[in-house]
Amino acid sequence: MPVRLNSNDKDFETHFVELLGLKREVSTDVDNAVRAIIDDVRARGDAALVDLSLKFDRLDLRKTGIAVTAAEVEAAYAACSKETLDALMFARDRIADHHKRQLPSDDRYTDAAGVELGHRWTAVESVGLYVPGGLASYPSSVLMNAVPAQVAGVPRIVMVVPSPSGELNPLVLAAAKIAGVSEIYRVGGAQAVAALAYGTDTIRPVVKIVGPGNAWVAAAKRQVFGTVGIDSIAGPSEVLVIADKNNDPEWIASDLLAQAEHDTAAQSILMTDDEAFAEAVEQAVRRQLGTLPRGNIAGESWNTFGATIILGSLGEAVPLADRIAAEHLEIATADAEDLAMRIRNAGAIFIGSVTPEVIGDYVSGSNHVLPTARSARFSSGLGVLDFMKRTSILKLDRAALEKIGPAAMTLARAEGLEGHRRSVEIRLEEAG
């Protein structure tokens, strides 16, 4: 059974802190094994990929090749239904349209002291997109990672995807084609991350690696960080729904379950100011669970990590939601817009009762890669800026150096960096 908290209870704060502290992920220590795999790929390149794929994926890359061929991609595309392809292209176009608005502007200006300053944004040269194999192999995630990279102007977008026993999800290959992925390799796990970071004869290294993966992939990304850039490490998904009694309990229940069906470690929380409504939603959840194909997963998630929180008033939701800092925050109340603007910490906010979180997973155009596990307190969803970097520009003339140089010399001396002082002084002397 999910926990039920009431903000009027004396021990509410204690229980709320317990809820915040719930550990939903079992941390597997695979660091040493991953280090060995990375070393092996660095030392032996493609030969290591062959051996490791035999071992972990029961796949002989010497027979299939490491690269997925254009013909294979075309065949996979042809195998998909028109309805699904149309939906993928519809999503791709909406994601592209939305993300184009995130393209940053360069800046260049001369300030009052005559100092020319500015910055220039450029795309990273190449990106490696990790796509999990098996159940969690989602074409929508391919779009959500690759399309912003394309919008940013990344010229080379590489995808790696494990092919257990030779299987590849045709939808994932079709999504890659639709998203403009330029190379695909049938390798996964830590070995794929190592190949992307350090390169092999077949796979040229990339500059940044993004995308979700299991504990091995996450550990490998952490270990190669520095050699390449990485995105944030995603944890299990979560939703916080704030709803008043004027909602259909069945709608709200379906949203809690959509989140819960992802993973037994997912978390769905309902906040409401009406206890009878909370009970109605809980009942609806139990009823819907019985008919859900992934009911076992959703049920385990809901019973282990689910929660309903009864508030004295909806205004109490603001500080609590900020502490939860949910990946997904759905607000279905009369003053939803006002509440949304008062809450600072959330990956994405879904306003109103006809904005189910699921819309953001697929076709809203907004990115579904969002900060999990309370990291919305300090980080943002994936976007175009994650595939770009900013270079500062400085340009002085002699007059500007004369104006601001002396203060630099003072600070250099104060910090005991005489060489710093001199590199300004030598120019001012000769100017004088």
- For residues 301-330, which are near its own copies according to CB under 8 A? 322
Query: CB 73: neighbour CB atoms within 10 A?
Result: 18
**Residue numbers 330-349 binding its own copies by CB under 8 A:** 337, 340-341, 344-349
Q: Which of 40, 183, 238, 261 binds its own copies (CB under 8 A)?
A: 261
Q: 150 among the known binding-site residues? A: no
Q: Coil, strand, or helix at residue 292?
A: coil
Min CB(57)–its own copies separation in Å: 21
| Residue 327 falls in the annotated catalytic set | yes
Residue numbers 362-421 binding its own copies by CB under 8 A: 362-367, 370-371, 373, 375-381, 383, 385, 389-398, 400-401, 404-405, 407-408, 410-412, 414-421
What is the 3-state secondary structure of 7-71? Answer: CCCCCHHHHHHHHHHCCCCCCCCCHHHHHHHHHHHHHHCHHHHHHHHHHHHCCCHHHHCCECCHH
In angstroms, the CA 45 to CA 203 distance is 9
Site for its own copies in 240-259 (CB under 8 A): 248, 250-251, 254-255, 257-258
Segment contacting its own copies by CB under 8 A, of 94-102, 144-152, 182-190, 311-319: 94-102
Q: Choose one: 43-51, 55-63, 68-76, 118-126; the region binding its own copies (CB under 8 A).
A: 118-126
Among 55, 120, 286, 287, binds its own copies (CB under 8 A): 120
CA distance 318 to 341: 10
Per-residue tokens: 108: 């260049």
The response to whether 191 counts as a known ligand-binding position is yes
Of the candidate spans 10-18, 50-58, 133-141, 273-281, the one that interacts with its own copies by CB under 8 A turns out to be 133-141
Instruction: Pick one of 128, 213, 229, 236: the residue that binds its own copies (CB under 8 A).
Output: 229
Among the listed residues 87, 83, 136, the one whose alpha carbon sits nearest the alpha carbon of residue 261:
136
Residue 351 is a binding residue for its own copies (CB under 8 A): yes
> Binding residue per annotation — 214?
yes
- Are 415 and 142 in contact by the 8 Å Cβ rule? The answer is no
Question: What is the rounded distance in angstroms from the CA atom of residue 350 to the CA atom of residue 337?
Answer: 10
Calculate the CA 413 to chain-centre distance. Answer: 45
Q: Which of 328, 330, 357, 368 is labelled catalytic?
A: 328
Distance CA 236, CA 138 (A): 15
Q: Which amino acid is at 247?
A: N
Instruction: Determine if residue 27 is labeled as part of a ligand binding site.
Output: no
CA-CA-CA-CA dihedral for 17, 3, 258, 237, to nearest 10: 20
Give the one residue of 84, 202, 214, 303 binding its own copies; rule: CB under 8 A.
84
Active site positions, annotated: 327-328
